[in-house]
Each structure stands twice: as structure tokens, then as C-alpha cells.
A and B are shown apart, each in its own frame.
Chain A
Amino acid sequence: MKFVLFPLDPVHDVALKMLNRELLKRGHQTVLLPPDTKMEEVVEICQREIPDFIMVSRTVGYGAAELLARFIDVLDAAGLRKKCKVVVGGKAITKKLAAELGYDAGFGERTSWEEVIAYVEGGKFEGEKVTIRKTKRDITCGYTYEVRDGTFKELLDKITDQILDWAKDRTSPGIERAKIKEKMLEGEHLLEEYLRLCDEVVVSYFRKNVLPKKVRLITEEERKKFERLVREINFDGKILRHGLDKPLVFVQYGTGCPFMDAMHIKVSEAWGADGVLHFDPSWGARCEGLLEGSLAHEEDGSIITLENLKLIKSALSDSTLWCVRAHRGLNTPEIVLLAAHAGADLTKINMVYGSLNGGTDPERLTVDGVYALQLSAKYKLPYDIPTNEELGGVPAHKAFAGMLVVAHLGVKLGARPILKPLFCYSPDVMINDYMKDNYVDYNVAKILALRRIMDAPIWPGEPIGFMTHTEDRVQSAMTTALHAALASSLGLDAITIASTDEAYARGAISVTARIDTLRAIAEAFRFFGHAKIEPTKKAEEYADKILNGIYETLKKVAERQDFVAALYEGLFGTREEGANPGRAGRGTVRKC
């Protein structure tokens, strides 16, 4: 067949050149005209060649319809319209516009050349659709948890042995409730026994049907309609990493309502998220006991009940990793238990952060934390260890010392930890000017230091780029994307990302804000591919400094021979540094 290809555009002709290449390969005859050829010249050439097809392209939107209409008129007047098929394509084209103007066919933006070839050759375009099969990954796979330096190992052993020895004959209402709940989940009727260990708000809910403020029950009708809606949701898998193996991308949710959470999760999955993290309301952490039933909450944080968790689980794609945060409150062991029973893949436990910045008493959270780690091991739920005390002002090395203690403790109990340093512009960083020149060096230093100490998975959170975000959407997406690229460059296992509403605090995060960050990250991964971000020499200097700081902190804690006292006394962060031992649950630990 013979083709005349004509860019009806001042400059853009790439698509036609690609099409020309493919037509020639397939043995067709072509005449490819340059941009800006006058219509009259095109008509002359077509009258001479009498092609089977005249292929016109138009990228620039301005005046497109008028020009394309005039071209059809000119062809018609020259008698060519009846002799040749006229096809139009390009960014400015829609099928509807092409039909309205009298073209035989129109191909818009994102059309593949295969589709056009199929049309002109009379074949059927099957599409080049590639089905992506996403599979669930074990982030901890392949890590030995070996402490690489004997000096660090000795200190960590000493501290964790002391914790285990201290905790072995202690218990708390949180642990006892978890034990009761475990039996209740096996079918025993022990609600009265459970309620004896709960705060009034929980007791009133069960005994008098009084709901906490701003909480409502989800109706059966709502639930059924929601389930039907979710069943109908269907989308193709998307991988953000552009051929890279790591990092997995997690988003955190906790809108307050499990329905809204589920919709945010589905949208995040559709735009490429690999995992999600459940965030509960902050008041839940300071209340003894958990509610039951499907409950919506009007404020930040989605209430943890087995029914809410199962509702969210029902909406998750098979490949999506699911983490339920347990680490910081009075229900830590029970939440690990519920997370396991609801089918979660991961949980989150850090008694240092939880007691210094999460509001729970250090003694209480230590004893609960040890039991929660045992449950994490029993139910094979790897746990991540966030270090968000940095955001309060605690220096990274102190936060990391706490994280490493909790990691080593978990390993001793048979659990599988994931280190979670922050990629952030923290108060300590600001005061010491660690990021005066760039956001790269100090974040890289954190990873270098941790890798020198322990062979463990690393998952920066929570979210990456903390305190670099503003309420401007473009800036916010950009800074998250750059931090994601840094994590990718460092070969890290996973990241937790912010939405572009990260710095907006006067309302709920919108689903659009989630999409925008995911799109930005995909673009950052595409931009860097396997290329690396190169830090300056400062990164090594900072890494040494962090390493020494971790060592000094662990040494002092080991010498103190009392982990709980070390928390109260500020060895993992002083009050001046923003570490304030919590009060919730104080005095509730007893000997057993």
C-alpha cells in the first residue's frame, strides 16, 4: 500500500516518523512530508501519488479543528477524498473530533503504532496489554540479623538479657487482656473477665451500648453495599519501580472510617502501592481495652476492632502487604493478636518510641512490648520499629540505639524485625545544620551506620521526607519522590510515603493527594532507574558520628543495667531533647 504522511503542525512529526519506519519495514511505500508543508503542496503530491492513505498528524491544540477541517475541504475539492482514506492522529485529536470533521479514523494521545498499523492493514488490534502479576513479598527474607560488630553485640546482648530477665515475672492488664482475648477468639465466653481489665469507656460500650464520642456503628446495609462495590472493583496491577527490585512502596491510612480507608487503599493499589499501614486513633492508645464491631470514627485514625480489620482485609488485593500498628499504647499485645487473626502481614512495635513520644509509661510498655514481641514471633508477623521520636527532637543516634535494642530483643524471642529509620528534616538536624547543603548526606549516613551494625531489612518511614513537606501539592509530591529515589538508590527494602496532604492538618487526606504522590514517585523511579544518587564526603563523617553516638548510648544503657530506668532517666533521649516518658498505664505493672 502507498501512504502519504503529513504533519499538519509547525514542528511535531515524531509519531509520523515512527509510523513511517514501521510502514517501510512492512513493505509499504511511503512519502513522508516535513512539518509546515503547505496544504496545496500536499494536495499536489497526493494527486501525483494517489496513496491508499493520507496520514495527517496534529500535536498543537490551537486551531486544530479549523485546520483539519480546511484540509478535508481541500482534499475534497481536489477530488482526493473519494480516492484515498484520510486518517488523523496526534495529541490534539480525539476519535469524536476526527469523525465530526469527516476523517476516516482518528487516533488520540497514547495510541501505539501497532494500533494504527492494524487499522490500515485491516487487521485486528489485540493491544499490547501486559498483565502484571504482583506477588506478596516477605521484606525480611534473606536477612540474618547478625550483629556485625562484636562490641555492639555484647552491649545489645547485655541490655536485652536484662530486659527479658526483668519482664519474666511481670504482667499488666494489657498482657492479661491479650491472654483472655486469645481464648475468646478460640470460642470461650470470657467477656466479663475481659471487661474487668478495661476502662469505663469500653465497659460502657459493652454493658450500656454507649458509643465513645464521634464514633458510630456501621449498619449492616452499608456493609453489604460496600462489599458489593469492592467486589466490582477491578484494575490492572501496576509496579512503580521501573524495573528495580526495591523498594516496596507503602501508604499509611487511617481516615477514621473503614469504608473510606478501603477506598483509599483500592485507589493506592491501582496507582501502584505495594502495601498499606493501619493507623488507629491516638485516644485508642491511652484506653485500656478495645471495642468490638464495625465502627466509624469522625476524626483521624481508624478504630481497631477485629470486625474493622476484617472489613479492611476484605478489600485488600492478594498482593498487598498489610501492617497494623500496635506499638505505642496500652493495647499493644492485643493488637498484635487481632492483627494476626485478621490476616495482617506485619505489625509495628517499638516500646522506646511508644514510651518516650507515644504517651505510654515506659515500665508498662516494656513489659507489654516483650509480650507483644512474643506474639509477633508466635504468629509469624514481622514487625517494624519506627523511630519517630526523632521528630520530637531526639537525636538519630539515640533513637537508633532504642530501635536496635528492640530489634535484637525481637530476634532473641524468635521474631523478625525491620529497622525503620526516618528520612526527615528533624529538629536535631535543623539545630546542628546537618542538612544545610542537602537532604542526602545525613539520610545516607543513617543507612550506612545501621548497615554497619546489623544485617536487617531497612524500611525508611514514616513517612519519608518528614518535615520537608509543605501544603503545596507540587512541592510535597516532589520532596517525597526525591526521598523515594534516595531510598531506591540505597537499595532499601521499602518506604512509607506521604500523600501530598502530608503538611495539611485541617482535614482528612484526600484520595487525590495519594494518587499525586504515587505518580510522582513512579516518575522519580523512572528518572533514576539504576542510576545512583551520589552523596558528598559528609555522609561518611555523619555515619561515623551516628555510629559512635549509638555505641555511647548503648554503653550507658548497658552500664545502667536497667532498661526501664534508662528510659525514665533520659538515656534514650532527654526531656530537653523532646523525649517525655509517658504516663498512660503508670503503676499497672505487677509481679506474677
Chain B
Amino acid sequence: MIERIVDAIDIETTLLSKDEEDAKNTAIQYLRSLGFKDVDVVFVEHTGFASRIRLRAYVFRPGDKYAWIFGGDA
């Protein structure tokens, strides 16, 4: 599937976390554990005990050689 993704995968969730940094660190660690290298936290909002968070894993950045142009043979 991954070669058909236009640019990125977002994972959205709500985490129990002590602060924003805690949520970010846990999230980045999780994305990396899934094998993604180019990862970021797009958005996080913490309210004392929980964080609404949007994680981003780029599969292709602008300028990359996109697998979807070559039918998955990048």
C-alpha cells in the first residue's frame, strides 16, 4: 500500500500524558517503532491529563522519486 500513498500518513489519537512533551515523545517513538523515519507531530493539545495529537509520517516529500508515478517500482 505504501507506494500508493501520495505524500504522508497521519495518525490521530488521544493519549493519556502528563504534558505536551510527554505526548510528543511517546508519539514520535511510536511512529519510529512502526518503521517510519521521516516523522513529526503536526498538532498536539494537552489538557492536564490527555493530549489530542496528530502524528505525521512522510512517505514522500516534494522532490522525491514517487513510487506512484512508476506503478510502485520506485
Contact = CB atoms under 8 A, between A and B. Distances in A.
Tell whether A and B belong to one assembly: yes
Contacts of A512: 12-14, 52
B67 interface: no
A511 interface: yes
A233 B50 CA distance: 9
Contacts of A516: 52
A211 interface: no
Contacts of A298: none
A236 B48 contact: yes
A510 B11 CA distance: 14
Contacts of A271: 47, 52
B46 to A, nearest CB: 9
Contact of B52 (A232, A233, A266, A515): A515
A233 B14 contact: no
Given A512-B52, A515-B52, A238 B47 contact: yes
B70 interface: no
Contact of B49 (A234, A238, A511, A515): A234
A236 B45 CA distance: 13
A235 interface: yes
Contacts of B12: 512
B52 A235 contact: no
A120 interface: no
B47 A270 contact: yes
Contacts of B52: 271, 512, 515-516, 519
B14 A270 contact: no
Contacts of B47: 235-236, 238, 270-271
A512 B47 CA distance: 13
A267 interface: yes
A266 B49 contact: yes
A267 B48 contact: no
Nearest to A516: B52
Interface in B27-61: 45, 47-50, 52
A236 B50 CA distance: 12
A233 B13 contact: no
Interface residues on A, range: 10 to 19
Nearest to A238: B47
A471 B61 CA distance: 29
Nearest to A269: B47
Contacts of B48: 233-236, 270
Contacts of B49: 232-235, 266, 270
Interface string B7-26: 00000111000000000000
Interface in A504-561: 510-512, 515-516, 519
B30 to A, nearest CB: 15
A232 B50 CA distance: 12
A271 B50 CA distance: 10
Interface in A211-247: 232-236, 238
A565 B56 CA distance: 61
A515 B43 CA distance: 13
Contacts of A236: 47-48
Interface in A462-515: 510-512, 515
A271 B45 CA distance: 10
Nearest to B24: A94
A233 B13 CA distance: 19
Contacts of A270: 47-50
A266 B50 CA distance: 9
Nearest to A518: B52
Interface string A270-299: 110000000000000000000000000000
Nearest to B47: A270
A486 B48 CA distance: 31
Contacts of A235: 47-49
A519 B12 CA distance: 15
A234 B19 CA distance: 12
A187 to B, nearest CB: 38
Contacts of B13: 512
A111 to B, nearest CB: 13
A519 B45 CA distance: 11
Contacts of A267: 14, 50
A232 B12 CA distance: 25
A236 B48 CA distance: 7
Nearest to A267: B50
Contacts of B45: 519
B36 to A, nearest CB: 18
A229 to B, nearest CB: 9
Nearest to A514: B14
13 contacts: A233-B49, A235-B47, A235-B48, A235-B49, A236-B47, A267-B50, A270-B48, A511-B14, A512-B13, A512-B14, A512-B52, A515-B52, A519-B45
Given A266-B49, A512-B13, 19 more contacts: A232-B49, A233-B48, A233-B49, A234-B48, A235-B48, A236-B47, A236-B48, A238-B47, A266-B50, A267-B50, A270-B47, A270-B49, A270-B50, A271-B47, A512-B12, A512-B14, A512-B52, A515-B52, A516-B52
In order of increasing CB-CB distance, the 3 nearest A-B pairs are A235-B48, A270-B47, A233-B49
